[in-house]
Amino acid sequence: MKKSAGYQPISVPEARLDELFEVVQWAFVGEWLLEDRQDYVDALPVERARALEVTDPSRGEVGEIAAVHASFGTEMITPGGRRVPTAGLSWLSVHPAHRRRGLMTAMMHDHFSRCKERGEAVSALYAMEAAIYSRFGYGMGAQTVKAEIPRGSAMWQVEGADDLTVRLVRADFDEHDELVSGLQAKLTRPGTVLNPVGSGRNARFTDPIGNRKGMEKWRLALVEDQGEPVAYAFFRRRADSSVGIHDGVCQVREFGALTPAASRKLWETLTDFDLVGTTYTENLATDDPLLYQLKDARGARSKVIDNLWVRVLDVKKALESREYFHDCDVVFDLHDKHVPENTGLWRIVVTDGNAVVTRAEGAKPDLTMGARHLSTVYLGGTSLEALTAAGLVQEHTAGQARELAVAMMSPVAPLANWDF
């Protein structure tokens, strides 16, 4: 008998959203406030909410929802500023009474096959626990710097920054969605997961009281160049004091800047609020301009953790939807347990930045790798040669791991600036 027998996949109708929310609260260990319900509805891509329902009484009450997930239908920026149709997987929850019965595995397969039907070549997610997703072919596609920046940290001058102006406003979906989405859509950093269309679109504006922990409601810093928006950041502050010294904090969530001067102006503002001693953020790329604009980067106490987990679902479409930075001709043997149609020999020929990817049955492979390794290097933040040096990718033709590594490495570090 299949491990996950006794459950059936369903789409969750709006009338059953509270059952979905109940499972999420059980799984994520939290009790939501009643007045926050609308925020959670607004943050959910309702038409893509899926669940597993009990069908066998030995598993639980027949008809009850045991596990849920949802995904945002969107596009992700790839190296070279191109785009690939992507599903942003989220809300993945298994009720603790039903865990370790293969329900997540069943939902992953449900997610993958529906993505393929919709033409989404890549799935991406933020992991609550980093050890879970490699087994399903996800690789750590981007890393982020978490930093705590002391108030008034000195920064290098950047030409034009002093000519820019800043507006500080309360974040409001109706008023600012178009402006923020428009700015985000102009970002070219690989890994940027664009704001989705449809329900869930206002997820970045939701602000449950239960999550505030004494912080303000979300505010927006908007940097403008003669009235034209050139940078944005969601932020909120909390006043605090110890031994009579004011040491409040400022949290910066999603942000984006179109120019070096806009970045300089944005961070100068965010790190100099009265009564705020520290500004912290989790969404800095490992090469974010701020890290070079600060005169003392070490002073921004930081650590690097995983940001976006990426899963290539359609090898040809995904690989042909990005730019490359070196010509090469490489055959690789791919193993993919969870999307078996990807398994086999592939040839990638890169000319002038563009790849042509074809099946190569019968050819002699230069490299052998798993789906998670291809997914790890997809956004260009990790070198294929590093995975070869680690013994994870096997090289059969000397030098071919380097050829493909140089072609795939992105000159700009990947990052998803929006935590979905």
Ligand X SMILES: CC(=O)SCCNC(=O)CCNC(=O)[C@H](O)C(C)(C)COP(=O)(O)OP(=O)(O)OC[C@H]1O[C@@H](n2cnc3c(N)ncnc32)[C@H](O)[C@@H]1OP(=O)(O)O
Known binding site for acetyl-CoA: residues?
100-105
One residue of 16, 19, 64, 105 binding ligand X per CB under 6 A? 105
Residue 305 interacts with ligand X (CB under 6 A): yes or no:
no
| Cα gap 51→65, rounded to integer Å | 7
Instruction: Tell me the longest C-alpha to C-alpha distance in the chain.
Output: 74
Residue 307 interacts with ligand X (CB under 6 A): yes or no:
no
One residue of 12, 125, 142, 387 binding ligand X per CB under 6 A? 125
- For the four alpha carbons of 27, 32, 37 and 42, in that order, the dihedral sign comes to negative
Min. distance of Cβ 276 from ligand X in angstroms? Answer: 31
Q: Which stretch binds ligand X (CB under 6 A): 32-40, 122-130, 152-160, 171-179?
A: 122-130
Contact predicate 239/250, CB 8 Å: no
Q: Which stretch binds ligand X (CB under 6 A): 85-93, 152-160, 165-173, 241-249?
A: 85-93
The 3-class secondary structure across 42-111, one letter per residue, is HHCCHHHEEEEEECCCCCCCCCCEEEEEEEEEEEEEECCCEEEEEEEEEEEEECHHHCCCCHHHHHHHHH
Q: What is the DSSP letter of 133?
A: S
Residue 122 or residue 409: which is nearer to ligand X going by CB?
122
Q: Which stretch binds ligand X (CB under 6 A): 7-15, 127-135, 209-217, 344-352?
A: 127-135
Distance of CA 242 to the CA centre of its chain: 36
Residue 270 interacts with ligand X (CB under 6 A): yes or no:
no
Number of residues that bind ligand X (CB under 6 A): 22
In DSSP terms, which residues pair with 332 in a beta bridge? 346, 367
Q: What is the DSSP letter of 146?
A: E
Residue 100 or residue 213: which is nearer to ligand X going by CB?
100
Residue 104 interacts with ligand X (CB under 6 A): yes or no:
yes
Min. distance of Cβ 414 from ligand X in angstroms? Answer: 18
One residue of 5, 128, 168, 304 binding ligand X per CB under 6 A? 128
Residue 158 interacts with ligand X (CB under 6 A): yes or no:
no
What are the strands, taking DSSP E only, across 151-247? 165-170, 219-225, 228-238, 241-242, 245-246
* CA-atom Rg of the chain in angstroms: 23
Which of 170, 181, 203 has the alpha carbon at shortest distance from 39? 203
For the chain, what is the total number of helices (H) and then of strands (E)? 10, 19
In DSSP terms, which residues pair with 336 in a beta bridge? none
Q: What is the DSSP string of 230-252?
A: EEEEEEEEE--EETTEE-EEEEE
Residue 117 interacts with ligand X (CB under 6 A): yes or no:
no
Residue 104 or residue 164: which is nearer to ligand X going by CB?
104
Q: How many residues does the chain have?
A: 420
Residues annotated as catalytic are 133, 420
Residue 416 interacts with ligand X (CB under 6 A): yes or no:
no
Q: Which stretch binds ligand X (CB under 6 A): 121-129, 188-196, 203-211, 217-225?
A: 121-129
Residue 143 interacts with ligand X (CB under 6 A): yes or no:
no
Residue 52 interacts with ligand X (CB under 6 A): yes or no:
no
Min. distance of Cβ 309 from ligand X in angstroms? Answer: 8
Residues 6+ apart with CB under 8 A from 340: none
One residue of 5, 28, 168, 211 binding ligand X per CB under 6 A? 28
Q: Which stretch binds ligand X (CB under 6 A): 39-47, 93-101, 233-241, 389-397?
A: 93-101
Residue 90 interacts with ligand X (CB under 6 A): yes or no:
yes
Contacting residues toward ligand X, per CB under 6 A: 27-28, 89-94, 99-105, 125, 127-129, 131-132, 135
